[in-house]
């Protein structure tokens, strides 16, 4: 990911508050969200998707489409919105930092697939996450799993960025966590304005990463080439 000078300046001078308010840092989930089993949800959603396709005029007796309502329902519950279920939250094991590594650790280019909660269209991009140990470290793959868990729900990118940072802060018992996400929103790319070239960048810097020096160091790291093919 290339960050030009103007964008880097914006990120380095980012205020603690977002430019526009979110409804909540928490995903808006009802208290009775888990009263139904996954199978019950799949059955109900299948019926609703069938109704939508029928209203649109599709012939649901056709071999190609007759299984679509059930496929969509299973995809919603088991896959792209699986991050709504607390049961699927990754258990992030932490370990003592016995080797006393005191610099930032950066996990960059984490593949991110989410769904815009406004139009239920895909958000596809990369997350870059960093932390400085406060005595504990977390397995590298757990950082990817945390990104994936919070991405797999109806989302807005700003909230997703905050949720990733706050979860890692809890897991690692430190404020020194940062995240930058660069993603394409198909609600912008494939409908409305239809601008296929643009992407959205969000960031959250906690603790030591609020320092312009550390912030700039992190931004430099995520621009390093990861082409190891020579």
The set of catalytic residues is: 116-119, 157, 185, 187
The answer to whether 131 touches 104, Cβ cutoff 8 Å, is: yes
d(CA 123, CA 154): 10
d(CA 26, CA 8): 28
d(CA 95, CA 71): 40
The answer to whether 117 touches 187, Cβ cutoff 8 Å, is: no
Query: 206 CB contacts (<8 Å, ≥6 apart)?
Result: 165, 169, 175, 176, 177, 178
Query: Closest by alpha carbon to 178, among 142, 148, 211?
Result: 211
């Amino acid at each position: 990911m290339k960050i030009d000078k103007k964008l880097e300046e914006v990120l380095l001078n980012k205020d603690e508050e977002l430019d526009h308010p979110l409804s909540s840092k928490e995903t808006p989930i009802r208290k009775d969200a888990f009263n139904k089993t996954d199978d019950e949800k799949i059955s109900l959603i299948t019926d609703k998707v069938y109704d939508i396709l029928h209203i649109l005029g599709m012939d649901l007796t056709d071999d190609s489409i007759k299984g679509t309502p059930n496929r969509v329902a299973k995809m919603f519950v088991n896959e792209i919105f699986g991050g709504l279920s607390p049961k699927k939250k990754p258990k992030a094991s932490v370990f003592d930092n016995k080797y006393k590594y005191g610099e930032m650790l950066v996990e960059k280019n984490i593949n991110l697939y989410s769904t815009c909660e406004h139009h239920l269209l895909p958000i596809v991009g990369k997350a870059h996450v960093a932390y400085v140990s406060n005595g504990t470290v977390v397995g590298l793959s757990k950082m990817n799993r945390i990104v994936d868990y919070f991405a797999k729900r109806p989302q807005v990118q700003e909230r997703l960025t905050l949720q990733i940072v706050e979860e890692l802060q809890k897991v690692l018992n430190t404020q020194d966590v940062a995240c930058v996400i660069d993603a394409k929103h198909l609600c912008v790319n494939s409908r409305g304005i239809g601008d296929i070239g643009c992407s959205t960048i969000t960031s959250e810097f906690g603790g030591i990463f609020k320092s312009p020096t550390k912030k700039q160091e992190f931004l430099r790291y995520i621009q390093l080439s990861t082409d190891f093919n020579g």
